[in-house]
A and B are shown apart, each in its own frame.
Chain A
């Protein structure tokens, strides 16, 4: 039995919510979680990063203020107070340089529109940040300053990236190898999976095996245009990766050298979706929230379910206990499903502001709230 994480964070369209586990019997409904604090009420939060206690336990919150651009804040007292950090920014383009055109022929704006991913590195104060448009940024001082990862931007393959659901491509997943901080994998919509083994000096695309059915036949296997919606690594075996891709669920057992598509796995109502979570010690166990595929983006048959595999994707269980099974139209975005370090507790939140938890790997879910703002990110 592993210890349950006692605090979690929910980043929404209208604020950042802190969850704590109340003492048993402390609430009327004996809910496993209670909303204990709201920060940035009315602000649009794009991502939250609660750093591990061993790293100091700081909380980083990225805001999308709309008119006034993306901002980054940090709390070192559990969210009671926040102070501004520097938001990552693209370097200035030489004044006489023509604007770069994206694959659609439109000028690519070199200005961060949204902070879309944020992860701890292995060194104290080290952070990685991915944005829309697809910039990667690296900080060694806890977000006080950022280096733009020019090597990735300058890679010829990067110029083939294009926007999927957003107007411009973006970096949404960052997997830092817990054994070696030089080794980082990122997921890009739409731009495949990329890997560095030298802390960002050089990069290789590694999306072999991924397939994009929506592209013309000659480009369906092109690694540079793949659309992984979310990529996660098993903490104990970081070479074991899962990706919820636009085209379905893909798995890598060789550190992204190759990917294997799970075609119509038994037990899963659909393989389209956005979110993915993998057990921290058992790479064969992973969770997804399926949806009717891309032209609809609704729960299949109006039923919210989570799918879980325990055998590396050979089969799935459809988990529905405690979840709405009629007229439910909740979609779960890519950062809105999370498993805790113990591996038993799950949280997921939806576009319609529903938030559920489980403490038994998804066998049973508990509704924490059905009335939150649209949820973008949940993290322990």
Chain B
């Protein structure tokens, strides 16, 4: 199982409690999250399935590398934190 938590800024738009899902990659974990909450997908991924330009995913404190396909591997017990990339002032 991996744990997926969301920035509080997203809670302005959607109910996004922290969830535990199965997934050996970030992509698989996201797919499991979206299966539970389909409307969440468009907030995290763009039309082509890439991570939105101003959204970041941290795994164990490091940003994922494959923003296009989210192929980064996950180990059991990993913690994903989905946040907005801060920009502007």
Contacts and interface: CB of A to CB of B under 8 A. Distances in A.
Interface of A: 42, 65-69, 71, 84, 87, 89-93, 109-112
A111 B55 contact: no
B47 A89 contact: yes
A69 B49 CA distance: 13
B57 to A, nearest CB: 13
A146 to B, nearest CB: 11
A112 B45 CA distance: 11
Contacts of A90: 47-48
B55 A93 contact: no
Nearest to B84: A67
Given A69-B52, A110-B48, A111-B48, A84 B10 contact: no
Contacts of A42: 12
Given A84-B39, A87-B42, A67 B48 contact: no
Contact of B47 (A65, A66, A71, A111): A111
A73 to B, nearest CB: 10
A143 B39 CA distance: 14
B34 interface: no
Q: Which 6 A-B pairs give the minimum distances between C-beta atoms? A: A111-B46, A111-B47, A67-B84, A67-B54, A68-B43, A89-B47
A114 to B, nearest CB: 13
Given A67-B55, A68-B13, A92 B43 contact: no
A66 B43 CA distance: 10
A69 B43 contact: yes
A65 B43 contact: yes
A92 B54 contact: no
21 contacts: A42-B12, A66-B84, A67-B54, A67-B84, A68-B10, A68-B44, A68-B52, A68-B84, A69-B42, A69-B43, A69-B52, A71-B13, A71-B42, A87-B42, A90-B47, A92-B47, A93-B48, A110-B48, A111-B48, A111-B50, A112-B47
A110 B50 CA distance: 11
B51 to A, nearest CB: 11
Interface in B39-84: 39, 42-44, 46-50, 52, 54-55, 84
A108 to B, nearest CB: 11
Contacts of A71: 13, 42
Contacts of A109: 46, 48
B49 to A, nearest CB: 7
A282 B21 CA distance: 62
B13 A65 contact: yes
- Most chain A CB within 10 A, of B10, B12, B47, B52, is at B47
B88 to A, nearest CB: 8
Contacts of B9: 67
A69 B84 contact: no
Nearest to B83: A67
Contacts of B50: 111
Interface string B10-44: 10110000000000000000000000000100111
B85 interface: yes
A65 B55 CA distance: 12
Nearest to B55: A67
A282 B19 CA distance: 59
